Amino acid sequence: MDGVPAHKEALALARACSQGDRSAQKQLFMQLAPRMKSVCMRYANDAEQAQDYMQEGFIRLFDKIGSYRGDSALETWSTRLFINNCLTLLKKDKKFRQQFDALNENVDYAEEQIEVDDDLLSEEEWMILMQELPLGYRSVLNLYVFEEKGHKEIADILGISENTSKSQLFKARRMLKELLEKNGRN
């Protein structure tokens, strides 16, 4: 029963935002901005691009907020919208497409299993470390680890082959491990 008032509040806030209520939009922005900035940073090349993604995401959110029906938490719904928006913007980026072509080489995944202990660093430290990964590696890693997508789904989302998805994930893990070792964490 604790979720019912919060659910009603979220629906009321979404409705007010869809009707152009500026104070409701500001309230929703303040509520969601830290989480959405983190989401955008996972997919962007740098802080400036993440800021652009976030701005585009909020424009899209306020455009689509009328379709929020309360089937999930407002933050969950918003996060999904932001992720999809980041992926759409990434796919339009020529550099992103070129990275997959340049980084797509055959790798024997069965030969080497790479595990990275996610308890080694704080969330902020992981975000900084992940920014050092090439965009293709980072995009696949985000979808696989954070969004829990399989390689077929990642391939469909990004417009790449399943093998490219596997290759990018393998290389991302390998590079993360090397970066951790370089920084004295292993």
CA distance 142 to 98: 19
Nearest to residue 50, comparing CAs of 60, 58, 42?
A: 42
Percent of the chain that is helix, strand, coil (3-state, to 5) = 75, 0, 25
Grouped pLDDT means (10 residues each) for the chain, 186 residues: 62 94 96 94 88 96 93 92 91 70 51 53 76 88 89 90 90 87 71
- Domains within the chain, CATH numbers bracketed: 3-92 (1.10.1740.10), 95-182 (1.10.10.10)
Nearest to residue 135, comparing CAs of 100, 159, 101, 165?
A: 100
CA distance 155 to 159: 6
User: Could you tell me the pTM of the whole model?
Assistant: 0.73
Where on the phi/psi map is residue 114: left (φ > 0), alpha (ψ -120 to 50), or beta? beta
